[in-house]
Amino acid sequence: MRNRTITLFEFSEDNEKLINFSNNLATEINSNLLLVHQTDCLIPSFTDSETKKKILEVEKKEAIAKINEIIDLKTHDIECEITEKNVVNYLESLHDSSVCDWVIVKQKEKEEFERFFTKSTILKIIEETNSLLIALPQDFSYNMPETLYFASHPKFEINHSQLEHLLNSLKNQVKKIVFFTHIDDEDDYFEIETHLKSLEELYQKYNTSTKIIVGNFANSDFKNQMDFTSGFLVVQKGPRNLFDLFFRRLSIDNLIKKAAFPLIIIPK
């Protein structure tokens, strides 16, 4: 399966680090890079197709000019697209079963969620597409992932083919994988420890280790327990109770809302 990198961006932000990171990642995973912006220009529903096309072409030219100030699109073989479609619908229109889409978005702070990348937009990408999603926090260092913190639990089966594809694509970058989960008094410690150890052995060629976080996760300083300088939190897409099982009161939308960790969400 070949890779394709799709980065969603806004003009209201400083995109230099985001675009350079996306280009570096695309190079690393041997994929082309598509930059996508959903237009915030209000096009009346009665606008004819030809006029609509011209409006989008003008905005696309402006976008290309701005991006070329950051990176030469032709030199790096980067495409740019402006769409009036809802982001999720646009991604679905690109769907190709022979392609693994790596969709990169920038997380928003809570007070900014009513803007373009709303909480619901990110969650809809997770819930309604089968893309691999990378969500980057506002204060992200833009280092390539060297350590992956993979949340796992014996009650939920891992999509090993997707995990293997992620690891193979990043084989020159990833130096370590930490398989972890969070438990409280209701959990079977031995069962979880056995589960994590089996993953450690299965993926030992990647230099693996395990970590069990005990106690009230919501009140623990999770960010200080993991090194996110060049580390990414990896969670498999699944039912909401999967995330609740890992993070108790910190469900996936809260993780995004906190905009604190670089996240990779792999398809189920």
Q: What is the CATH number of the domain that holds 163?
A: 3.40.50
Of 107, 136, 165, at which residue does a domain stop?
Answer: 136
Mean pLDDT, residues 114-142: 75
Query: What range defines the domain where residue 126 resides?
Result: 2-136
**Does the residue 90 lie in any domain?**
yes
106 or 249, which is more confident?
Answer: 106
Output the pLDDT for position 245: 47
What band does 170 get if pLDDT is binned at 50, 70 and 90? very high
Least confident of 10-14, 122-126, 261-265: 10-14
- Does 103 share its domain with 66? yes
**Does the residue 267 lie in any domain?**
no
Output the pLDDT for position 250: 44
- Does 119 share its domain with 229? no
Q: Where are the beta strands (DSSP E) in 130-261?
A: 132-136, 147-151, 176-183, 208-214, 231-236
CATH of the domain at 120: 3.40.50.620
CA 238 → CA 34, 164, 235, 267, distances in Å?
27, 18, 9, 8
Contact between residue 177 and residue 148 where contact means Cβ atoms under 8 Å apart:
yes
- Does 128 share its domain with 152? no
Q: What is the CA radius of gyration of the chain?
A: 19
- Does 62 share its domain with 168? no
Mean pLDDT, residues 150-163: 89
Mean pLDDT, residues 226-249: 68
**Does the residue 141 lie in any domain?**
no
- Predicted TM-score (pTM) of this structure: 0.85
Alpha carbon distance 26, 70 (integer Å) = 16
- HSE-up of residue 16 (Cα within 13 Å, Cβ side): 3
- Does 247 share its domain with 122? no
**Does the residue 268 lie in any domain?**
no
Domain count, the chain: 2
- Does 126 share its domain with 38? yes
Give the list of residues 6+ apart from residue 108 with CB closer than 8 angstroms, or none. 115, 117, 118, 119, 138, 259
pLDDT(13) > 50? yes
**Does the residue 45 lie in any domain?**
yes
